[in-house]
Structure 1
Amino acid sequence: MAKFSSEKYPALTLQDDKGIWARFEGAQFETFDSAVAKRLRGLPESEGISEVGGSEPADDKAPSKRASKDDWVAWAVKTGATEEEASALTRDELAEKYADSAPKE
């Protein structure tokens, strides 16, 4: 199960031409549908939706693109960046730059 929170909208309904595909209540949403989770992870950071819980990266795998900035900073440092370099970037910049990086031994 994937869990998401909405920082901007406590009650949020997401829909397209096929109908409602996600409904946040109390700024929270849970889904077992991997396609919905993938869609939420793909939203831009400016939408204020992030994945919560279970976003810890595996030892040798980058976090999801919707993981927190702290998770991405930790991953970037693990792959060779300094804490200062990583902290200066946004979460989306970190994901773009370090998604395909491997941890340093």
Structure 2
Amino acid sequence: MAAETIHVRGEGGTVIAMDLPLPEAIAQRLAKGQLQRVTEDGSPYTAPPPDDVPSLPAKAPAKAAPRDAWVGWAVACGADPDQADGMTKADLVDAYAELTPREPAPSE
């Protein structure tokens, strides 16, 4: 059976095909919002992702959740991925615990 393939847009805008399961480093960058899942032609991906692809919960992570979960939550709430990745977990919790994810703009 062939591996399932997804497409991600990297920081430079290039669309890259990736086989699942994703390497841990790529999965972490996807969870942090540094990469974006897209369709093969680069348009936004809207179908529910498979279990292998990190997705964000509808509410903020638990305060005991790993820092990467908080970085991903902050990005979903509108934070710049690089700035969120540079914050401490305590700062992320303080700044984003009460926020909700933003709706992506049509051009994203």
TM-score normalised according to structure 2 size: 0.43
TM-score normalised according to structure 1 size: 0.44
Instruction: Give the structure with higher Rg (CA).
Output: 1
Question: Larger strand proportion, structure 1 or 2?
Answer: 1
